[in-house]
Amino acid sequence: MKTILKSVIVFLILVISGRSFAEDVSFSNGTYDEILAKAKLENKIVMIDFITDWCKWCIETDKKVYTDPKVSGFANVHQINWKIDAEKGEGPDLTKKYGVKGFPTIVFTNSDGVEIDRIYGYIPADQFLVKMTDYNNNINTFGAIKTMLDANADDISANYLMGEKILSNGLEGDAKVYFTKVITLDASNSAGYTDDAKFTLAYMNEDPVALKSLLTEYPKSEKIKEGYLNLASYYAEKNDFVNADKYYKDGFAKFGNDDFDIKQSYGGYLLGRGYAIMKDEKATKQDRKDGIKILNECLAYVKGSVNEASTYFIMSDLYFQNKNIKKANECIDKAIAIYDKKSYRDQKDKINKLQSLNTK
C-alpha cells in the first residue's frame, strides 16, 4: 500500500509540475580548454550556447528547447554541452573567435574547437533536434556542403544549400551568387530548388513585386509561407500596416490560425507597433490607447512565450504615460510573473514612486 501511495504521489507531483522523467539538457562546467579536453577524451563534439543576461530568446530556448525530452536525450548522450556568457569571462574573446553577432547563437565544434556549424536565434525543439542530429552526423553542415561543391561546382542542391547556409548563419560570402547559379542551372525547376532560390532572392532584394508574382507562379513552393511573411515584413517596415495586415491574413488563411511561424511573426509585428508608440514622444493619449488595443490583440499570438512578458511591459508603460496607474501596475505585475528582469522591476518602482507621490 505504501509503495502504491508513494507512486501516486510522485505521479501527481509530475503532473502538477508539468515535467516528465526526462532530464533537461545537461551543461558541463569548466573553461573552454577544459570543455574541449573533455570532448576529446569522450570522443564527442561540443555544443557552445552563447548567451547574455538580457537575451529573452535565450530564456525561451532554455524553457522550451532544452527541456524537450528528445532534444535532451540526444544532446546528453552524443555531445558535450556548454554555456558561455558572451559578455563575461572568456565570453568576449570566444564571441569574437566564432564571429557571434546575436543571441542566442549555438555553435557546434569538434574537440579541437573547429566549428562544424551553428544555430542562430530561437527555433522550436523539433527543428533544433533535426539540426543538432545533422551536425553530429556531418549532414547539411557548411563543411559537408563545401565538399559537395568542390566535387561538382554545378551541383544544384549544393549551390542552393550553400546560399541558404550563408544567409541563415551570417557567414562570409555572397549568398546571391549561389541562388542565381541555381536558377541558371535549372530554369525549369526540375530539381525543385529554383522556385526557392527565386523567393529568397526576391526577399534579399526587397522586391515585393517579384514576391507577389512568385506567389502566383509557384503556389506549391516550400517558400510560399516565407513569401507571405516577407511581404508582410516589407510593408511593416514601410509602416504600411494595411498591406502588412493583408499578407498576414493571407498567410493565416492558407496555413491556419495556429501555424507557429505565422503566429510568432504576427505577434512580433504587433509587439513592434506597440513599442513604436511607447517610444514616440509625439504620441497622443489616443495613440497610446490604440497601442494598448493592438497589444491586447498581440497577447493571443505571444501567449506562453517571453514575448508575452514584453507585451505586458509595453502595455504597462502606455498605461503609465496615460496616467492610468492601476492598469499600469496590473500589467507590470503580469510581466514580472512571466519573466522577472531588471527593466520590469525598474518599471514597477517607477509606478510605485508616482503612486506614492499621488497619495501624499
pLDDT of residue 355: 78
Rounded CA separation 31/162 (Å)? 33
Once rounded to an integer, what is the mean pLDDT over residues 135-145?
A: 93
Q: pLDDT > 70: what percent of the chain?
A: 93
pLDDT in tens, 289-316: 999 999 999 999 999 988 999 999 999 9
Three cell numbers at 285?
A: 493619449
Rounded CA separation 29/15 (Å)? 31
pLDDT in tens, 33-44: 999 999 999 999
Domain limits, the chain: 25-139, 144-359
Q: State the CB neighbour count (10 A cutoff) for residue 229.
A: 21
pLDDT in tens, 319-358: 999 999 999 999 999 999 998 889 999 999 999 988 777 7
Would you say residue 77 has pLDDT above 90?
yes
CATH number of 25-139: 3.40.30.10
Do you find a cis peptide bond into 124, omega within 30 degrees of 0?
no
Contact, 103 vs 52, CB < 8 A? yes
Within its chain, how far is the Cα of 144 from the centroid? 25
At the topology level, CATH places domain 144-359 in: 1.25.40
Rounded CA separation 241/239 (Å)? 6
Please enumerate in sequence order all residues whose Cβ is within 8 A of that of 128, keeping only pairs 6 or more positions apart, or say none: 65, 68, 71, 119
Once rounded to an integer, what is the mean pLDDT over residues 116-138?
A: 94
pLDDT of residue 356: 76
Within its chain, how far is the Cα of 199 from the centroid? 21
pLDDT in tens, 174-229: 999 999 999 999 999 999 999 999 999 999 999 999 999 999 999 989 899 999 99
Could you give the strand order of the β-sheet that contains 45-51, starting from the edge strand earlier in sequence? 79-85, 45-51, 105-109, 115-120
pLDDT of residue 340: 87
Q: Give the C-alpha distances (Å, rounded to integers) separating 40 from 69, 98, 155.
A: 26, 19, 34
pLDDT of residue 1: 36
For residue 23, name the pLDDT band (cuts at 50, 70, 90): confident
pLDDT of residue 15: 34
Paired sense of beta strands 45-51 and 79-85, if any = parallel
pLDDT of residue 2: 35
Q: pLDDT > 90: what percent of the chain?
A: 84
Q: What does R_g of the chain's alpha carbons equal in angstroms?
A: 24
pLDDT of residue 360: 56
- Which residues of the chain form beta strands (DSSP E)? 45-51, 79-85, 105-109, 115-120
For the whole model, what pTM was predicted? Answer: 0.81
